[in-house]
């Protein structure tokens, strides 16, 4: 059976993915960047990135027999919150109460766990491939050794912005990337080769912790997202005063991007709707809580990753003032 790209893309859109492109699993053109990045220690304690490097550079080693990779984008841009809306610091009245009063949670983590939300819909797309003759159709969403941004760029879905995000013309970058490795020989799209950032440097200038070493090179060990979610142990003293109220992830380099400011539109995926988990809480919220209560309230949510000790650490750092007064 021969399947063309069009029905696959149509099925992806039906499943509320906002875009779909196809590439092959051949070695990436940017393996050297990954090696340099790892060698300079920018991955910090994310040791899995070292272990996965070989497969990230040569995606043929990820799924045996795969001949094509179907890449999809999943918009998570907030439904009820406005462009500056957050779980904090804006109150229900929309008034910004300023840093130091309410915690900010990155937009991607405000709804249901995206791994689960994406997995179900990716599996439906994989099923469609199987119905059309695929013997191999394995899906990934932010789990596994897949160089997702690079494959998405190669599938024609956007360019790598100076903030390292995949940015899509007419869309911006508020989306997740998912992929399906299949043995179907689907025709590949043209890679996205243009750099649409031009002379803009807003993301580099706005980063609260100056985490960009140069355009497209992020020292993750300075990034608030890494410090609040991935890192074990204390947040370095030097950075504690720069957390700008963020207690889980950080959206600054996405928020300031003109492509997002101009084009972001609310997701159709209800499960990404913000749940306001930390709305209205005070700086001592986690200090008053024990493990059992944390598990009851935040088990199965993204906050489980840093855990109670991590969230206490994040709150202490986020509410330490530096330049904000």
Catalytically active residues, by annotation: 142
Nearest to 140 by CA among 154, 156, 151, 153: 151
Measured distance CA(320)–CA(199) in Å, rounded? 34
Rounded to 5 degrees, φ, ψ at 129 are: -65, -40
DSSP 3-state percent helix, strand, coil across the chain (nearest 5):
35, 15, 50
Q: CB nearer to ligand SF4: give 80 or 201.
A: 201
108 binds, among ligand B12, ligand SF4, none (CB under 5 to 8 A by kind): ligand B12
Rounded to 5 degrees, φ, ψ at 211 are: -85, -15
The one among 86, 121, 162, 216 contacting ligand B12 by CB under 6 A: 216
166 binds, among ligand B12, ligand SF4, none (CB under 5 to 8 A by kind): ligand B12
Measured distance CA(118)–CA(262) in Å, rounded? 26
* Alpha carbon of residue 228 to chain centroid: 14
The one among 118, 239, 257, 311 contacting ligand SF4 by CB under 6 A: 257
Q: Beta strand 166-167 with 19-23: parallel, antiparallel or unpaired?
A: unpaired
Report if residue 223 touches ligand SF4, rule: CB under 6 A: yes
Tokens 């906002």 — which residue?
A: 18
Pair of tokens at residue 234: 């204390």
Window contacting ligand SF4 (CB under 6 A); options: 35-43, 109-117, 138-146, 194-202: 194-202
Contact (Cβ atoms closer than 8 angstroms) between residue 126 and residue 133: no
Q: Which residues ranging from 124 to 163 are in contact with ligand B12 (CB under 6 A)?
A: 141-142, 146-150, 153, 160, 163
Report if residue 240 touches ligand SF4, rule: CB under 6 A: no
Report if residue 37 touches ligand B12, rule: CB under 6 A: yes
Using CB under 6 A as the criterion, which residues of the chain lie in contact with ligand B12 when the complex forms? 28, 30, 33-34, 37, 46, 49, 56, 106, 108, 141-142, 146-150, 153, 160, 163-166, 173, 175-177, 216, 218, 220, 223, 225-226, 230, 249-251, 253-254
Using CB under 6 A as the criterion, which residues of the chain lie in contact with ligand SF4 when the complex forms? 161-163, 167, 197, 200-203, 207-209, 211, 218, 223-225, 250, 252-253, 256-259
């Amino acid at each position: 059976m021969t399947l063309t790209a069009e029905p696959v893309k149509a099925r992806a859109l039906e499943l509320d993915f906002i875009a779909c492109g196809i590439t092959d699993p051949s070695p990436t053109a940017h393996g050297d960047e990954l090696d340099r990045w790892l060698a300079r220690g920018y991955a910090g304690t994310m040791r899995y990135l070292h272990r996965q490097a070989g497969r990230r550079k040569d995606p043929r080693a990820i799924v045996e027999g795969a001949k094509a990779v179907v890449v999809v984008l999943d918009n998570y841009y907030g439904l009820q919150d406005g462009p500056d809306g957050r779980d904090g610091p804006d109150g229900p009245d929309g008034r910004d109460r300023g840093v130091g009063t309410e915690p900010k949670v990155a937009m991607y983590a405000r709804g249901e766990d995206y791994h689960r939300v994406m997995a179900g819909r990716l599996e439906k797309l994989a099923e469609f491939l199987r119905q059309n003759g695929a013997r191999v159709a394995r899906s990934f969403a932010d789990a596994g050794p897949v160089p997702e941004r690079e494959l998405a760029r190669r599938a024609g879905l956007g360019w790598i912005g100076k903030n390292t995000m995949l940015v899509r013309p007419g869309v911006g970058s508020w989306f997740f990337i998912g992929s399906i490795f299949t043995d179907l020989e689907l025709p590949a799209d043209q890679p996205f080769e243009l750099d649409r950032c031009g002379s803009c440097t807003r993301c580099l200038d706005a980063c609260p912790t100056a985490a960009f070493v140069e355009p497209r090179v992020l020292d993750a060990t300075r990034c608030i997202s890494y410090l609040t979610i991935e890192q074990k142990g204390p947040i370095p003293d030097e950075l504690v005063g720069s957390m700008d109220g963020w207690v889980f992830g950080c959206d600054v380099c996405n928020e300031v991007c003109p492509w997002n400011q101009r084009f972001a539109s609310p997701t159709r995926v209800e499960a990404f709707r913000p749940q306001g988990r930390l709305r209205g809480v005070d700086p001592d919220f986690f200090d008053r809580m024990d493990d059992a209560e944390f598990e009851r309230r935040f088990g199965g949510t993204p906050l489980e990753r840093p855990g109670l000790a991590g969230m206490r650490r994040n709150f202490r750092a986020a509410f330490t003032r530096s330049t904000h007064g």
